[in-house]
Homo-oligomer: A and B are copies of this chain.
Amino acid sequence: MIEDKVSFDDFKKLDIRIGKVVSVDNHPNADKLYILKIDIGGDIKQCVAGLKQYLRPEQILNKSLAVIVNLQPAVLRGVESQVMLLAASTESTTGRDVVLVVPEKELPPGSRVS
Residues of chain A whose beta carbon lies under 8 Å from any beta carbon of chain B: 1-8, 10-11, 13-16, 18, 63, 66, 68-72, 74, 84, 86-90, 97, 99-105, 107-108, 111-114
Number of copies: 2
Residue ID in chain B nearest A97 by CB atoms: B107
CA A1 to CA B102, docked complex, whole Å = 20
When distances are taken between beta carbons in the complex, the residues of chain B under 8 Å from A14 are: 2, 6, 10-11, 14
CA A6 to CA B13, docked complex, whole Å = 7
CB of A100 within 8 A of CB of B103, answer yes
Q: Which of A3, A7, A103 has the most CB of B within 10 A?
A: A103
CB of B90 within 8 A of CB of A108, answer yes
CA A112 to CA B100, docked complex, whole Å = 12
